[in-house]
């Protein structure tokens, strides 16, 4: 199995259709924690829904578009990161992330997103990586900042959730600005 060691006991690898059962069990642990902050279509509530998400990303990845990766800590799927969008033609991508509560506060997502930025900028020659989040999602904004992204603007009331509309932040980093870990 191809996977990348992020640190001792923590691995990043493609999250694929065959993980549907494991992904659904993880979502059971993560659902209420992530629901306010991620796209509604991502928060499915059974194995069929989880499989549909994995299949959608798998098909998109096969077309060199969006891709999904899981973070396994001590063999347990605890979260993940994704290219929400990936376009070689435009030279840009958007990165997203989530964790179940037990995995917060350990730097796992910052490390995993660093791997995605490395691949996008170094292996694929992209120029720009974006990060979109609810403006009141302080933990998400903090990840964008740790990745060296700049806040480029706020789309006012662009995020509807449970009858209210929230502002949405747009963060981004350009390839020449990105400080490669250890480099
Ligand atoms: C957004 C989210 C993934 C951020 O998780 P996180 O654990 O705060 O982010 P990281 O994995 O980068 O970890 C950073 C934290 O680990 C700590 N940390 C520990 N070791 C670290 C290390 N080696 N490197 C970096 N940070 C480390 C940092 O101090 C920070 O903790 P603090 O904020 O309490 O100071 C998480 O809050 C989440 O899943 N939220 C719900 C879903 C969501 O909002 N997704 C994003 C949608 S835009």
Distance 89 CA to ligand 1 centre (A): 31
What's residue 2's pLDDT? Answer: 86
Distance 59 CA to ligand 1 centre (A): 29
In tens, the pLDDT along 47-68 reads 999 999 999 999 999 999 999 9
- If one residue of 10, 140, 147 were mutated to test the ligand 1 pocket, choosing by the most ligand atoms within 8 A of its CB, it would be 140
CB 144 within 8 A of CB 135: no
CA distances to 28, 45, 111 from 131, rounded to whole Å, are 25, 26, 15
Write the Ramachandran bin of 168: left for phi over 0, alpha for psi from -120 to 50, otherwise beta.
beta
Ligand 1: nearest atom to the Cα of 109: 11
Ligand 1: nearest atom to the Cα of 134: 48
Ligand 1: nearest atom to the Cα of 110: 12
CA angle 19/100/104 to nearest 5° reads 130
Which whole number is the average pLDDT over 143-159? 98
Domains of the chain: 4-177 (3.40.630.30)
Looking up tokens 């179940």, which residue turns up? 100
Is 183 a residue whose pLDDT tops 70?
no
Please work out whether the CB of residue 139 comes within 6 Å of at least one atom of ligand 1.
yes
| Confidence grade of residue 180 (pLDDT, cut at 50, 70, 90) | low
Contacts 24+ apart (CB under 8 A), 34-39: 34/98, 34/99, 36/134, 36/161, 36/162, 37/98, 37/133, 37/134, 37/137, 37/140, 38/96, 38/98
Please work out whether the CB of residue 108 comes within 6 Å of at least one atom of ligand 1.
yes
In tens, the pLDDT along 81-98 reads 999 999 999 999 999 999
Tell me the C-alpha distance between 92 and 128, whole Å: 5
- If one residue of 103, 107, 171 were mutated to test the ligand 1 pocket, choosing by the most ligand atoms within 8 A of its CB, it would be 107
Secondary element (H or E) of residue 174:
strand 164-174
Nearest CA among 16, 98, 104, 92 for reference residue 59: 16
Which whole number is the average pLDDT over 28-32? 98
Is 150 a residue whose pLDDT tops 70?
yes
Which whole number is the average pLDDT over 69-91? 98
Secondary element (H or E) of residue 121:
none
């Amino acid at each position: 199995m191809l996977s990348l060691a992020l640190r001792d006991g923590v691995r990043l690898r493609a999250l694929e259709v065959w993980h549907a059962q494991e992904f659904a069990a993880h979502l059971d642990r993560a659902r209420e924690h992530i629901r306010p902050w991620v796209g509604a279509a991502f928060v499915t509530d059974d194995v069929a829904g989880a499989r549909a998400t994995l299949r959608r990303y798998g098909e998109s990845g096969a077309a060199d578009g969006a891709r999904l990766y899981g973070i396994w800590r001590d063999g347990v799927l605890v979260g993940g990161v994704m290219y929400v969008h990936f376009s070689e033609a435009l030279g840009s991508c958007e990165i997203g992330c989530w964790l179940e509560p037990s995995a917060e506060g350990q730097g796992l997502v910052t490390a995993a997103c660093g791997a995605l930025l490395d691949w996008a900028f170094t292996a694929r020659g992209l120029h720009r990586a974006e990060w979109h989040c609810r403006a009141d999602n302080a933990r998400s904004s903090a990840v964008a900042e740790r990745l060296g992204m700049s806040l480029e603007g706020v789309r006012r009331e662009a995020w509807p959730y449970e009858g209210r509309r929230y502002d949405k932040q747009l963060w981004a980093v350009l390839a020449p600005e990105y400080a490669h870990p250890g480099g």
